[in-house]
Amino acid sequence: MSARTSPAALRNREPIAAALAPALPAKGRVLMVAEGSGEHAVYLARRFPALTWLPSDPDEGARDSIAAHRRNADLPNLKAPVALDASAPHWPVQHAEAITCINMIHISLWAATEGLMVGAARCLPPGGLLYLYGPYREAGKTLAASNAAFDADLRARNSEWGLRDLSAVEHLAGQHGLRLTQRIDMPANNLSLFFRRA
């Protein structure tokens, strides 16, 4: 098993942790949807030791990378990765106090975002947190040049990928009882979005 390295994860993990700090529950399980390389999992598990972190990813190679990082870190509150496809009707996890989903929505089919909202509504307790991080389109705001180029690249790779309209994501979340309570501007034209289950 080989541990992957993501330059983006190394750049954004500290700002993400700072944004999450006041919003996370004091204790309980945090499900990490589409965790990727595992570097966020290790960093956040070390930063927030009172929480149990459960990383997941649908890709076997990503899970291997998470497992390798987990083995090297040897953190008691970081659990082994599970196979979870956000778009699947059934998840292998039934309950979590909070859910994080970092850099998935723009690089997956819309069905994955739909499944994420369904799954979050099912797993989270009242007041539970769904945290999203990544680039978005916002009504009335000009898309940054770097985000426009990124969006074009994503759509060239898969016509169903690309930066999502924040209003569409917020509307979808609302259909499943998840309300956007906070929006934070992040480095490199990304956003931190905090949804709470009603």
Q: What is the pLDDT of residues 142-179, one digit of tens each?
A: 999 999 999 999 999 999 999 999 999 999 999 999 99
Q: Tell me, what's the pLDDT at 1?
A: 61
Question: Could you read off the pLDDT of 81-104 as tens digits, one per residue?
Answer: 999 999 999 999 999 999 999 999
Both structure tokens of 4 = 């992957």
**CATH classification at residue 132:** 3.40.50.150
Total tally of structural domains belonging to the chain: 1
* Residues 172, 54, 181, 177, CA torsion sign: positive
Residue 193 located in a structural domain: yes
Question: Could you read off the pLDDT of 69-83 as tens digits, one per residue?
Answer: 999 999 999 999 999
Q: Are 24 and 128 in contact (CB under 8 A)?
A: no
Residue 2 located in a structural domain: no
Residue 141 located in a structural domain: yes
The whole-angstrom distance between residue 179's C-alpha and the CA centroid of its chain comes to: 16
Residue 62 located in a structural domain: yes
Q: How many other C-beta atoms can be found within 10 angstroms of the C-beta atom of residue 158?
A: 11
Q: Is 115 exposed, middle or buried (0-12, 13-18, 19+ CB in 10 A)?
A: buried
What is the extent of the structural domain holding 150?
A: 7-197
Instruction: Please tell me the pTM assigned to this model.
Output: 0.97
Question: Could you read off the pLDDT of 37-73 as tens digits, one per residue?
Answer: 999 999 999 999 999 999 999 999 999 999 999 999 9
Residue 67 located in a structural domain: yes
Residue 93 located in a structural domain: yes
Residue 1 located in a structural domain: no
